[in-house]
Structure 1
C-alpha cells in the first residue's frame, strides 16, 4: 500500500459510486417510474463516442496495449493527473492490437468503464484526454514516462444529440527530472539477473543521500529505505528531509521497486523477475563499493506500507545481509488476516463477509473511504500495475495465459483456494514459524515492527498475529501496535533508527 494516503484524505469525501444517474436506486412507485423515464430521456437519449488517432512521428512500432479516455469536471486540469484511489474520475478503455496510430480507434458506450457508462455522464461541461500506455516498465498509465497523450479538450454534453469527440495523441509524457545536489545522487544500474529475465537491458534505479561532509575515502553505515506503493527513487529527497539531522552520519538509499506490474516488494517472482536477487546481490554491492558502505554488519533496512512489508521480507529472507529492520505499517504479513480477510479459509470472499456485508478497503476517522469491490473495478479499468494486481504479480504463479494467476474472481469476489495456498511461501508469519530454528539466532535483536491501531487499510490485524507468533517463539522482536495511529510512519522513528545505527544495534 502507499505510505502517504493519510496526507491526502483529510479533505476527501468517501467515494460514492452512486453519483451518476445510471447507478441511482429508484423505488418504483408511480412517481418513481416517471422519474426513471425522465432520467432515461435526459441522460441516455444520446450516444457519446470518442475517436482517437495519433501523430505519425510518435509511433516507432505498432503497439498492443491499452488506450484510455479520462474525463474530469475540472476544466483547468490535465485529466490524467486527476486519477487517484479515493476520487477517481470517469475512465473508459479499450485494448488495441498492433496499432500504428493512423487508423482511428473508436471508444463507445460498451467500453470498459469506471464508474459510469459513457452515455450515463450527466449533462455538463467536461475536460477529456486520451492516454496510450507504451512504457514497458512504468506501473502507471497516467504518468509513465513516454506514454502517449492528447492535448486536453473541453466538451459540453447537453444531451440534445449524439456526439463524436475526436482526440489525437500528439506527445509523450516527459521524464521526471531528478534533482541532484552535493548530497543527493541517482544511480541507474543495469541488472544482469533482471536483464536475463526480461530479455533486454533492464535498469533499476536508486536515490542516494550522502552523509554531511561526505568523505569518499571513508566508509559509512547504510540504511535502505523502501518506498510504499507508487513511490520511486525520487523519494530520496523526502527521505532525507524526514530524517533531518539523523541523516548526517549515514548513507541512505531509496531503491526503486516499481515495475510494469506494480511494486516488486523485492521478492523473486515468476511474473516480475528476481528483484530480491537484483537488489541484494547486484545493486547493493555496486552502491556500497561506489559510495563506501561498511558492509552487512552495518547495513539496515526500513520502509512504510508496501515498503514496510518489503523491508521485513528482506531482513527475514536475507538475515545475514541486514543488521536490523524497522518495518512500519506493512502490507499483510499473515495471509490469515489479509486486510481482515482469511485467504486460506474455504469459501472466503474478497468483496463480501460471511454476513453478506460489503468489505471495506480503506477508512479514515471512522468512515469507510473505499470498498474492496469498487476499488477492484477501478483497477480493472486501469489495468496491470495497480495495488491488487501487484499482489498477484509478486505472489502468484504464472498462469497458462502468461499472466499472474488471480487470487479471486473479479466479478464475484470468490477466492481461489488453490492460488491462495500457493501464496504461502510469501506469508512472512508462516515463514518465521516454519524456519525459526534456523532464523532465531540470525534475527536476534534485529526485528522492529510497527502498526497503527487504526490503520487506514486494515493492516494491523496481521501484525497482531505476527506479534503473538514472535512472543510464542520467544523472540526479542519489538512489535508495537501504536495507539491511535493510522497508516503513516511512526512519529519520532527516524531519530530512533539513527541512534540505533550509531550504536551498532
Structure 2
C-alpha cells in the first residue's frame, strides 16, 4: 500500500507540475498558441513564368505601411518580419507552403506570430544551377546587374503587397504576380566609359560564361592628348552601377531633401550631389593629377563583389582582375601598364580588398590606401577571436550568456547583435546564399564542403566556431598573419611604403580592433620598416578615411581627392629611372 500511495502522489505531483508549466507558458506567450497553425501558400501563374524555378522563397510581414515589405528587412530596430524556405523545381500553379518550419527573422518561427493585421508580400529569389570546374554542382543566385540585391534582382518574382488578418490556424494565399524588370546599362559620357569582358579564368571555374566589368573615369584632355600615358587608380568597393561619386551636372535644386538617420542629417542626398559635382570641378580643373580611375564590377554568385582574391568557393577573381581586366583597361586607355604606376584605395569592403590585393600581388601595385577595412586580423573578426573564442554569438562563460554586439554608434550604443545579423542571413538564404556580409566572408575565405557549398566558420544557429575552418582562414586570408609570417621571407621588402591604414576609433562594426593588431605588428617591423601610415579618427564612425579636417559624413565622399594625390606623390618618388613622368602632365 505504501508503494502504491507513493506512486500515486508522485504522478499527481508530476501532473500538477505539468499544468503549472503549461500555465506559465500560456501566460508568457499567449499569442504563440493562437498561431501555431498559420500557413502561407505562395504560387505563381504559368502566364508569368512557364518554367519550374529553384530558389529561396521569402514571405515578409510588416506593420509599417510606408514601404513595400521587401524593402523593410534590416539589421536595425525598424526591421519587419521575414520567413524563408528553399524551393527546388517549383512549378507554375503549385503552391509552396511557408509555415512554422520556415526560418524566420527576427521572429524565429511563424508559430510565435501574434494574431493581427499585416501587410504581406512574397518574393522568389531565383537560383541558377552551376556545374563548376571542380566537379561540384551548386544552386546559387547569379547577379543580374543589380549587385546581388535579393529584393531588387531582375527576374525575381514578387507579389503585390496585400493586407491580411492572421489568427489561429490561418491560411493565407499570396500570388507572385510581378517580375522585377531588367536594369538598363548606364550611358557613357565624355569622362565615364564602361567596359565588360569575358573572363577565361572565371568561365572555366564556373562552367559557364563569366564577366568582369569596370567603369572608367578618364582625365580631362584624354581625347585631345593621345600621346599621354596614365597611372591607374583602382577604387575598390561594392558593386557600382555606374562610376559613383562623380556628377557632371549641377546639383538638382528641386531634389526633395531626405533625412539620413546614420548622420542625423537632413538633406544628405543634396549634400551627396554637391560633393559629386565638386569632384567633377576638381577633376576637370588645372590642379588635379591626370590619371585613370576605375571602379570594378565583379559580383559573384555569392555577393555584390568578389573581394578581389582567389577563392575555393568563388573562383580565381584575384587572378582575373590582375591578369585579365587590368591589362585590358591599360591597353585600351593608354595606361602605363606597370606595377609602379598602379595604386588602390577603398573603404570597408574596398579597404580590405585594397590591402589584400597588395599583399597577394605585391609587385603588381605600388600602394594600398585602406580605409575602415573589413577585419584584416581574425583575432579581431569584429568582436570575435576566431582562434580562441568558442562561440561567436556569446562571450565564453559557464554561467552567463552575454551577447556579442554587432553594430554601435559613436557613443557605443548597440543596435544589433552578431546573432541577430546572422539569423537574418539564415532566413534570407541557407548554405551561405543570403548575399549578405557574414555569408560573403564565409564564401570567400572557407574551404569547399562536401556538398559543394562553403564550410561554415560557425554554426549559423548556435554560433559555435569550427576551429578547423578557422585554421584554414588563418593561413589563407588573415592578412596580418600572412604579412607577419612572410615579412622577413621577402614580402616585407615588396610592401615597404605600400601599406596605409585609416579607421575611426568608434567604427560602427568594430573594425578598428583589427587595425590595432595590425599596427602592433607593422610598427615593430625592422627588416624592413613598413614605412606607411596607420591613422585613427577620434570618435569617427564607419567609414573614416584619414581626413583630419572634415566630419565623417563629408570625408567619406572624398576618397579620390584624399588618395589620388598621395598615390601620385609616391609614384614620382619610386618610379624607375627613365619612367614616363611627363606625358600625362598637361
Pick the TM interval, shorter chain: 0.7 to 0.9
Residue 457 of structure 2 aligns to a residue whose secondary structure is: coil
Distance 1:161 1:68, change over 3 A: closer
Match for residue 317 of structure 1?
A: 360
Match for residue 403 of structure 2?
A: 358
Q: Is residue 276 from structure 1 mapped to residue 276 from structure 2 by the alignment? A: no
Cα displacement string for residues 277-327 of structure 1 (whole angstroms, at most 9, x for unaligned residues): 111101111112122222232211011111110110011111111111110
Is the CA contact 1:219–1:293 (under 8 Å) kept in the aligned structure 2? yes
Q: Is residue 219 from structure 1 mapped to residue 229 from structure 2 by the alignment? A: yes
Match for residue 435 of structure 1?
A: 486
Distance 1:387 1:111, change over 3 A: same
1:265 to 291, 307, 322: 307
2:499 to 430, 443, 447: 447
Is the CA contact 1:184–1:237 (under 8 Å) kept in the aligned structure 2? no
Distance 1:375 1:46, change over 3 A: closer
Match for residue 413 of structure 2?
A: 367
2:89 to 81, 93, 98: 98
2:125 to 133, 138, 161: 133
Is the CA contact 1:306–1:330 (under 8 Å) kept in the aligned structure 2? yes
Q: How far 1:481 sits from its partner (Å)?
A: 2.1
The CA distance in 2 between the partners of 1:154 and 1:287, in whole Å, is 51
The CA distance in 1 between the partners of 2:361 and 2:442, in whole Å, is 22
Is the CA contact 1:146–1:175 (under 8 Å) kept in the aligned structure 2? no
Larger Rg: 2
TM-score of the superposed pair, with normalisation by structure 2: 0.75
Q: How many residues align?
A: 470
Is the CA contact 2:72–2:80 (under 8 Å) kept in the aligned structure 1? yes
Residue 120 of structure 2 aligns to a residue whose secondary structure is: strand
Cα displacement string for residues 398-446 of structure 1 (whole angstroms, at most 9, x for unaligned residues): 0111111111122321111111000122111111112213122222222
Please identify, of 136-145 and 92-101, the stretch whose mean Cα deviation from structure 2 is larger: 136-145
Match for residue 132 of structure 2?
A: none
> Greater relative contact order (Cα 8 A, min sep 6): structure 1 or 2?
1
The CA distance in 1 between the partners of 2:301 and 2:420, in whole Å, is 22
Residue 539 of structure 2 aligns to a residue whose secondary structure is: coil
The CA distance in 1 between the partners of 2:32 and 2:57, in whole Å, is 29
1:465 to 507, 517, 524: 517
The CA distance in 2 between the partners of 1:468 and 1:495, in whole Å, is 29
2:422 to 355, 370, 376: 376
Matches within 5 A, 1:344-423: 344-345=387-388, 347-355=389-397, 356-364=401-409, 365-383=411-429, 384=433, 385-423=435-473
Please identify, of 209-218 and 404-413, the stretch whose mean Cα deviation from structure 2 is larger: 209-218
Please identify, of 284-293 and 213-222, the stretch whose mean Cα deviation from structure 2 is larger: 213-222
Q: How far 1:140 sits from its partner (Å)?
A: 3.1
Is the CA contact 1:226–1:257 (under 8 Å) kept in the aligned structure 2? no
Distance 1:202 1:60, change over 3 A: farther
Is the CA contact 1:330–1:451 (under 8 Å) kept in the aligned structure 2? yes
Match for residue 237 of structure 1?
A: 244
Cα displacement string for residues 9-52 of structure 1 (whole angstroms, at most 9, x for unaligned residues): xxxxxxxxxxxxxxxxxxxxx9x968944952697257432221
| Runs of 5+ consecutive residues of structure 1 not aligned to the other structure | 1-29
The CA distance in 1 between the partners of 2:201 and 2:62, in whole Å, is 42
1:145 to 145, 148, 154: 154
Residue 98 of structure 1 aligns to a residue whose secondary structure is: strand
Residue 310 of structure 1 aligns to a residue whose secondary structure is: helix
The CA distance in 2 between the partners of 1:246 and 1:152, in whole Å, is 46
Distance 1:417 1:89, change over 3 A: same
Residue 178 of structure 2 aligns to a residue whose secondary structure is: strand
Match for residue 330 of structure 2?
A: 288
Match for residue 338 of structure 1?
A: 381
Residue 195 of structure 1 aligns to a residue whose secondary structure is: helix
Distance 1:434 1:37, change over 3 A: closer
Distance 1:302 1:38, change over 3 A: closer
| Runs of 5+ consecutive residues of structure 2 not aligned to the other structure | 1-19, 128-140, 248-275, 285-289, 548-554, 574-586
Please identify, of 271-280 and 122-131, the stretch whose mean Cα deviation from structure 2 is larger: 122-131
The CA distance in 1 between the partners of 2:394 and 2:468, in whole Å, is 20
Q: How far 1:57 sits from its partner (Å)?
A: 4.4
Q: Is residue 328 from structure 1 mapped to residue 371 from structure 2 by the alignment? A: yes
Q: How far 1:247 sits from its partner (Å)?
A: 4.0
Q: How far 1:329 sits from its partner (Å)?
A: 0.6
Is the CA contact 1:188–1:206 (under 8 Å) kept in the aligned structure 2? yes
Match for residue 208 of structure 2?
A: 200
Q: How far 1:137 sits from its partner (Å)?
A: 1.9
The CA distance in 1 between the partners of 2:282 and 2:233, in whole Å, is 11
Cα displacement string for residues 379-405 of structure 1 (whole angstroms, at most 9, x for unaligned residues): 101111221111111111001111111
Q: Is residue 477 from structure 1 mapped to residue 486 from structure 2 by the alignment? A: no
Is the CA contact 2:62–2:69 (under 8 Å) kept in the aligned structure 1? yes
Q: How far 1:123 sits from its partner (Å)?
A: 4.5
Match for residue 272 of structure 2?
A: none
Distance 1:174 1:48, change over 3 A: farther
